[in-house]
Amino acid sequence: MQKLEDAPCTYVRRWYDDDPELSRIVDKMRYSSDEIRSKVALLIIKTIIDRKILNLEYENIEDILDSIYAGYADTRRARWYDLDSTVRTAMQMLHDLPYDARASVALEIKNSHKYICIFPI
């Protein structure tokens, strides 16, 4: 018998719900402490920057800073992750990735970083 959390999602309300792993990570962030939320957000940012450097998408420090400031400068405040600039930046950087890259980042964070393991995924 398939568990509910393993069932395929047929309704996607939020952009990060497209990928089940990313959806779980974001939901865990949403309901965790501010300290854990910030650490996970920094891990997301680091993972994305590392990947873009390895893929030669960033040619200089200005490219990295532009990517970071794109999320930081967002002025909307209606979403839960807009309240903290680090979390907002991580979410914006994730949003700007293609679907496959978002899924890959989520899987890497889930498999590699102990902060996510505070809650069973």
User: Cα 12–14–67 angle (5° rounding)?
Assistant: 135
Per-residue confidence (pLDDT) for residue 44, from 0 to 100: 92
Residue-wise pLDDT for 77-107, tens only, equals 678 888 888 899 899 889 988 999 999 999 9
* pLDDT number for residue 11: 56
Q: Where are the alpha helices (DSSP H) in the chain?
A: 20-30, 34-54, 61-72, 85-95, 99-112
Q: In terms of pTM, does the model score above 0.85? A: no
So what's the pLDDT on residue 110?
Answer: 84
- How confident is the model over 23-66, as pLDDT tens digits? 999 998 899 889 989 989 999 999 988 888 877 878 888 887 88
Alpha-carbon distance 3 to 40, whole Å? 27
Handedness of CA 22, 29, 118, 49 (dihedral sign): positive
* pLDDT at residue 58, as a whole number: 80
